[in-house]
Amino acid sequence: MRQSVHNFIEKNRFFTYIDRVFVAISGGPDSMALLHYLWTHRDQWNISVEAVHINHQLRADEADADEAFVREECQEYGIPLTVQKVDVTSYANMNGMATQLAARELRYKCFTALCENERTAIVTAHHGDDQIETVMMKIVRGYLPLQGIGIKAVRSLGNGYLIRPFLGITKEKIENYCKEEHVHYRIDSSNHSDKYTRNRYRKELLPFIKKENAQAHVQIQRQVEWNQDDQAFLERLAEDAQAKVTESQTETSVTISQVLFLQLSIPLQRRVIHLILNYLYNYNSPFISSIHIEQIIDLLNDTHPSKKLDVRNGLIVSRDYQVCHFSKTDSYHKETGFQTALLYKGSVQTALGEISAYPFKDQNETDRVGSKLIILSKDVTFPLMVRSRLPGDRIEAKGMAGSKKLTRLFIDRKISQSLRDEWPVVVDADGSIIWVPLLMVSRKVEHQTQTEANRIVLRFKPADSAIPLINRHLTGGSQEIDER
């Protein structure tokens, strides 16, 4: 066992930058063997060794006996010991979680507090059989492949690290070591209870696997390590890809380009979505599943221009033509509603830009008539109104017979749902729409009497911050915005 553990530590360079370790001990054979091994080899690895015991208070007198045992053993060897008691039952009831999950969460909170700096590590006795059980449990139960499979040999914890030097050896080798070195230990009675999933795998599945291949733990460990390396490499690629497809990002929302996203390979698509969900869910959320990622990819591939998906816990994903919004609140579809009077020789500021009214100056104004500038007659009754769209809005479009619904205009011009409630509409004193900047002008403007001295100019100046947004949502919009 010693040589196998030594090789595993060397291979992973566990103690290259670590000089203080806390061995997590329960009193069982695995953790007591680990404590004995590291204590007797502390000079070889140039580390100081201490022990930490968490009393979960779940087995009444038995838990107290475990604590007394580890105190006695550490005192005999002169090993510094930290003992902490946690109330698992109360914590589980308060947070509505299973007892084992609550125990783990409290245990790791204690471990994290001990990792004061980057040269400190918590060391646990997870071994090769634990690795097999964990991998098989995840596969059978269903897991998110992007998070990796199996137990990591080393990972960050607090300001330090969590290290597992026994992953390369079996339970049998650990028990033999205890016999050879006369390591004392206690057996936790809960290890034999079939109510715990891991115990059932240990009793029923593990013997079969080891009978088929006595070195299964070595093969599984290799698969886990290679998988972790692959995941780390792909995640770096996904981070680069996410930066390329992301159009905007705040603390509560992310907007990506559908076109650029669909150009990515499927493995990167999955990981980009996972990164976005992790960001909005504050990382490692139990709410993220493979199903959610597949649903979002389906939404991005859907031919319908507008779709919406309620993922979970307040996260909304919505497609608007060639963009996709991820938002913790449905801010992209809220009713914004606005209405402001546009005075003669005045202006109105909207989210997308400024609309101003002023007297006709010279013939150059006529040359600039287009999507951003129209000329009215002074016969028009002021004040005009600049408002957001209303249900049933229609415009008698210049060059067309009859009228056109604003809803259809937005659809035809591929205006995103997220912009429709912010798009300014100019109406006259009768409430008739005379102009939808950048999109359409009413034929009422065409029929007005406009002598050179009887003209008013309406001009729309897009806000600098809105130009990329408008261009993205307009068919041919970049030319319309940039030409004048």
Concatenate the DSSP letters of all residues of 58-112 into one string.
Answer: -STHHHHHHHHHHHHHHHHHT--EEEEE--HHHHHHHHT--HHHHHHHHHHHHHH
Residue 249: other Cβ atoms inside 10 A: 16
- Cα dihedral 333, 336, 339, 345 sign: negative
Q: In sequence order, what are the residues at sequence separation of 6 or more whose Cβ sits closer than 8 angstroms to the Cβ of residue 383?
A: 341, 342, 343, 344, 429
Residue 85: other Cβ atoms inside 10 A: 15
- Report the alpha-carbon distance of residue 59 to residue 36 in Å, rounded: 25
- List, in order of start, the domains of the chain with CATH numbers: 2-214 (3.40.50.620), 245-332 (3.30.465.60), 335-483 (no CATH)
H or E stretch including 130?
helix 128-141
Biggest CA-to-CA distance, the chain: 109
Length of the chain: 484
Q: pTM of the prediction?
A: 0.67
* 3-state percent breakdown (helix, strand, coil) of the chain, nearest 5: 45, 20, 35
Residue 427: other Cβ atoms inside 10 A: 20
Residue pLDDT tens, the chain, 484 long: 899 999 999 999 999 999 999 999 999 999 999 999 999 999 999 999 999 999 998 887 888 999 999 999 999 999 999 999 999 999 999 988 888 889 999 999 999 999 988 999 999 999 999 999 999 998 888 777 787 788 999 999 999 999 999 999 999 999 999 999 999 999 877 777 787 788 899 999 999 999 999 999 999 999 999 999 999 999 999 999 999 999 888 888 899 999 999 999 999 999 999 999 988 887 655 567 788 899 999 999 988 877 888 887 778 898 887 889 898 865 555 555 788 999 888 899 988 899 999 888 766 666 667 788 888 876 677 789 999 999 889 998 887 888 999 989 988 888 877 788 889 999 988 888 999 999 999 887 765 555 556 688 899 999 887 787 777 666 444 344 543 3
- Report the alpha-carbon distance of residue 469 to residue 37 in Å, rounded: 62
Question: What is the DSSP code (8-state) at residue 383?
Answer: P
Contact 380, 456 (CB under 8 A): yes
